[in-house]
A and B are shown apart, each in its own frame.
Chain A
Amino acid sequence: MSPKTLLQIIALFGSLSVLSIGGGNTVVPDMHRQAVNQFHWLDGRQFADLFAISQAAPGPSVLIVTLIGYKAGGEGLWGVIGAIIATMAMIIPAGLLVYFTARFWNSAKEAKWRKAVERGFAPLTVGLVLASGVIVAKSADHGYREWALTAVATVVFTCTKTNPLIVVGVAGLIGWFGLV
């Protein structure tokens, strides 16, 4: 991996980090444009496949960045270094903003505005959480069988104390046998 590539990785993901308002996935189109069309680190097909892998793996979906860094670094050991640099470039700038915000937030425990945010934003967060569930279901092309599984699992999560891991595991098995 050339120093130039290294700098390009840092510049690209470092800038996307502070632009990714609303979450990592909001900058995926821009990531695609630059990594595929501008720097030619990978082709469109590979980008789509890496995106699928990053969504499938556990952990935050922003790990698409790790995979692009791996390919940009030239795979193998250099790839791993590219992956680590890309991941850090994506996390640190935004993380610093959160750090300062969190410190400010923690220093204002009794402030009225903080109480207003905690109380007032609670219903908004619940609405956004529900919305994110609906959006994920839509983008995963939920059919009636998927919705049925979703409905059953929702009832189990809400009305019983079953360990969620068991439910997710059973759902995975159902998928494995091709029942949904």
Chain B
Amino acid sequence: MSDQVASSATEVAPKPPGLIELALTFNKIALASFGGGLSAWSREIIVVDRKWMSEEEFLSALTICRILPGANQVNLAVFVGVKFHGIIGAFAACAGLIFVPVVIVLCMAWFYFTYSKVPAMKNILHGMTPAAVAMTFAMAFKTGRKCLGSPVAIALFVAIFVLSAVLRLPLIAALLICGPIALWWGWPRQSKVAS
């Protein structure tokens, strides 16, 4: 019934990564995201570089991870880890994501409490934040080019952007407004399935 869809949309990964590869990959994502842009880095590495997830699977996982409580990026690590190796995979991905950053913040905290000064990184970060924001914008552009092909999709995109960035509605409220329309529009129908 949905054979064609299955072959095109699922199983993009050439071969599932091992536990160590999972941990190292999430470590790379964490360290690359100095100054922010974790979502964009995750996509860059998980979808573009490693091809562990299709674009659509990644985007929906990202939103699921935002809806559920918890830090979005930790959640995403758990989600990807579970996909390949169940709960052990979740631990590996999580540990990879946070181990080195935890060591780094602890060193910074030690420095802070010993010398009562915030480590002097302000200027460097001041330059990195615009780059991280730019990466986030570029991610929106690259993914948008693929999935904003119809008027309904564009309307949904604009609506949630306005609700979230302009009106600053909480995520749940914004999703309660846009989510049902999105699900209705996305529901597989004979004529639309092929896209």
Contacts and interface: CB of A to CB of B under 8 A. Distances in A.
B19 interface: no
A127 B158 contact: yes
A39 interface: no
Chain A binding surface SS class: helix
Q: Which of A90, A140, A165 has the most CB of B within 10 A?
A: A140
Interface string A119-132: 11111111111111
The winner among B34, B128, B187 for most chain A CB atoms within 10 A is B128
A175 B128 CA distance: 7
B143 A122 contact: yes
Interface in A134-178: 134-137, 140, 142, 146-147, 149-154, 156-158, 164-165, 167-168, 170-178
The contact size tier of chain B is 35 or more
B142 A115 contact: no
Interface string A6-47: 000000000001111111100000000000000000000000
B127 A150 contact: no
A94 B182 contact: no
B118 A52 contact: yes
B13 interface: no
B136 A132 contact: yes
Contact of A120 (B69, B110, B123, B185): B185
Contacts of A49: 112, 118
Residue of A17, A93, A101, A164 with most partner-chain B CB within 10 A: A164
B19 to A, nearest CB: 16
Interface in B81-139: 82-83, 86-87, 90, 94, 97-98, 100-102, 104-106, 108-110, 112-113, 118-119, 121, 123-139
A90 B73 CA distance: 13
Given A70-B106, A135-B165, A130 B136 contact: yes
B47 to A, nearest CB: 12
Contacts of B156: 120, 123-124, 127
A102 B79 contact: yes
A141 B10 CA distance: 41
B161 A53 contact: no
B166 to A, nearest CB: 8
A59 interface: yes
Contact of B106 (A17, A66, A101): A66
B170 A22 contact: yes
29 contacts: A20-B69, A21-B69, A49-B112, A53-B112, A57-B104, A58-B30, A94-B69, A95-B74, A97-B70, A103-B82, A105-B61, A116-B186, A121-B186, A122-B56, A123-B148, A125-B63, A126-B59, A126-B140, A127-B140, A129-B40, A132-B136, A136-B129, A156-B134, A164-B135, A168-B128, A171-B35, A172-B35, A174-B127, A175-B124
